[in-house]
Structure formats: C-alpha cells, structure tokens
C-alpha cells in the first residue's frame, strides 16, 4: 500500500509513526514492566533506522490526559553509533518521555481514578496523520508512511467518533495502521483500524518476547510485505459505541441524516437535530408481541 508512488525515495524507505502508550494506570497492572517495554521498543526503533539510512521514525507519547511528540529522527543532531547504540534516540527519547509522563500526571481528569482509564488514542492518531500530511507537502520526495500503535489501555467509548474519523482519514491517505495490543482483551478500535486501512493487528502471546514480535512483523517495509505471510485479522469486533451513553452496543438506532448511533429510540437526534418517527416497537400490538416472543 503506497500513498503516492511518484513521490517516493524508493519502495523500501519507510516513515514509521510510533504511538507509545504511557498510561500509568495500565502499566501498574501489566505483567510486562514499563522499563522492559521501553527496552524492547528502543531496540526496535534502532533496528528501523539501521535498516536504511533514509528511514525516518517519529514517536508520539499517548497518555490518559494528553499526547505529544517525544522523538523525531529527521531533526536529530546525532545519528551515529556509540557503543553499539544510537545515543540521540536513547537519550533524547527517554528524556522527553520522562518530561511528558510528569506533565501528563499533573493534569487532572475526571474519573481517572475509577477503574482503568483509556489513553487518548484519538489524539495521537490525529497528530500522526497531521505529521504525515506535513511530510506529503514538504517536497517531491518522501518515504512510505505507516502508523504503529503500541497500545495497552482499554478502549474509550467516548473516543469512538474521533477514532473512526482518524481511521477513515488514514484509509483515504492510504496510510496503514499497524497495531500491537498488550492488554488483556482485544481492542475493537485497533482491530477496526488495522482491518480498514490494510494494516496488521497483533496481540503478542508472550509479552516478554516483544522485540521478536516487533522485528519479525512490524519492521518490514510496505513493499516487502507483499512477499510475506503476516498475521491476518480474525474475528474483528465491528461493534460501535452509542452517542448518548458512550457504550459499546450490538444493536441500536441510526440517524438517517448524520449516521449518529443511539442505544435507545429518541424523538430527536442530539447531533443534527433531525426529528425521528415513532419507534417500530411502539407500533406493534400486544398480541403481536406475545406471538413474537412465544416462538423464541
């Protein structure tokens, strides 16, 4: 999947946007310590930059209160090797990450203490797409962009609309969204993102071997993927979240004007103001209802 074949350096040059989940509410309960997770990620990012000198990496930290850019290899002053590692990547990224985590924890968010708060995935996806559009407009040559979500927090139903808008924007720009989910359950948002944009969704069975998963599945460029058998999405959860209570639903009501989703019938759409007709269940008579349920 290429965004603009006439504007590429080569078919194997990549721009990798990494969305790094830093939600402390998740990592405090995860079997994989955050320090070990960072060690795997840094090794993976080093390998991406070493595969091709024209490869670019940008990292966006995704907190539960905010998100921000913490590393950009295109503006790094040092790309040389020092003791077998890239000092600019390790030192600059870790310093910016520490500053971001401290700043994110200082922000107040209602309800973050109750249960496992979700990270601002919608915000980091939007920032990644804005960065990619900036690269598209920077000149006649650019690498092939793709997004990698390293997520562990559970889905936030209140972000459904924003995330779906970002997914469709990525699809229109032909930017695949890869997902490596480390949570206990699967992420419906990331499953849909990878399926719609042609990316890869993976839930590692052994988090301790994260670097092996990253290097064998997500390190390959888009051109090389056509020759590999990568994991395919099986059983994608396409359920949506209602606009009224922000809950995941199996069945609901959809506004025919703006396509807003509601879990219950409303007289008026809260999004566009369209007036709805009477609910179908209200038109059924009591005998019909009894007859309908008698066969169930």
Question: How much is the pLDDT for 166?
Answer: 96
- Say if residues 135 and 43 touch (Cβ distance below 8 Å): no
Q: Tens-digit pLDDT profile for the chain (296 aa)?
A: 444 444 556 678 899 999 999 999 899 999 999 999 999 999 999 999 988 888 999 999 999 889 999 999 888 655 554 443 455 567 888 999 999 999 988 875 544 444 447 899 999 999 999 999 999 888 778 899 999 999 999 888 888 889 999 999 999 999 999 999 999 888 989 999 999 999 999 999 999 999 999 999 999 988 888 888 888 777 777 777 777 766 777 788 878 777 677 888 878 887 777 887 765 554 444 443 333 333 22
Query: In the chain, which ranges are E strands?
Result: 14-21, 56-62, 67-72, 144-151, 177-181, 201-202, 240-241, 248-249, 253-254, 261-262
Residue 219 and residue 142: Cα distance in Å, rounded?
A: 18
CATH architecture of 5-225: 3-Layer(aba) Sandwich (3.40)
Question: How much is the pLDDT for 145?
Answer: 94
Hey, where are the domains in the chain?
Answer: 5-225, 240-294
Residue 24 and residue 134: Cα distance in Å, rounded?
A: 31
Rg (CA), the chain: 22
For the record, the structure tokens of 78 come out as 């040092």
Return the number of other C-beta atoms located less than 10 Å from residue 5's C-beta: 8
198: left (phi over 0), alpha (psi -120 to 50) or beta: left
- Say if residues 137 and 166 touch (Cβ distance below 8 Å): no
Question: How much is the pLDDT for 253?
Answer: 80
User: Which is it for strands 201-202 and 240-241: parallel, antiparallel or unpaired?
Assistant: unpaired
């Amino acid at each position: 999947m290429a965004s603009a074949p006439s504007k590429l350096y080569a078919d194997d040059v990549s721009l990798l946007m990494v969305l790094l989940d830093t939600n402390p509410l998740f990592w405090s309960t995860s079997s994989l310590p955050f320090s070990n997770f960072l060690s795997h990620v840094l090794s993976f990012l080093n390998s991406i930059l070493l595969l091709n000198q024209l490869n670019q990496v940008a990292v966006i930290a995704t907190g539960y209160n905010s998100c921000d850019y913490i590393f950009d290899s295109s503006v790094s002053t040092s790309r040389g090797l020092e003791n077998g590692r890239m000092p600019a990547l390790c030192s600059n990224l870790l310093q910016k990450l520490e500053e971001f985590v401290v700043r994110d924890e200082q922000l107040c968010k209602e309800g973050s203490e109750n249960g496992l708060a979700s990270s601002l995935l919608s915000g980091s996806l939007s920032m990644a797409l804005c960065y990619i559009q900036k690269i598209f407009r920077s000149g006649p040559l650019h690498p092939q962009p793709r997004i990698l979500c390293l997520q562990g927090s559970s889905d936030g139903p209140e972000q459904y609309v924003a995330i779906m808008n970002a997914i469709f924007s990525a699809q229109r720009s032909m930017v695949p969204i890869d997902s490596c989910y480390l949570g206990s359950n699967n992420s419906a948002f990331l499953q849909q993102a990878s399926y719609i944009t042609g990316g890869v969704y993976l839930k590692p069975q052994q988090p301790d071997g994260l670097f092996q998963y990253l290097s064998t599945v997500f390190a390959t460029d888009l051109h090389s993927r056509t020759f590999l058998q990568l994991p395919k999405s099986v059983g994608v959860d396409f359920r949506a979240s209602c606009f009224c209570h922000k809950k995941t639903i199996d069945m609901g009501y959809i506004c025919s004007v703006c396509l807003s989703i509601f879990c219950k019938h409303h007289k008026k759409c809260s999004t566009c103001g369209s007036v709805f007709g009477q609910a179908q269940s209200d038109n059924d008579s009591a005998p019909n209802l009894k007859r309908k349920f008698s066969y169930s």
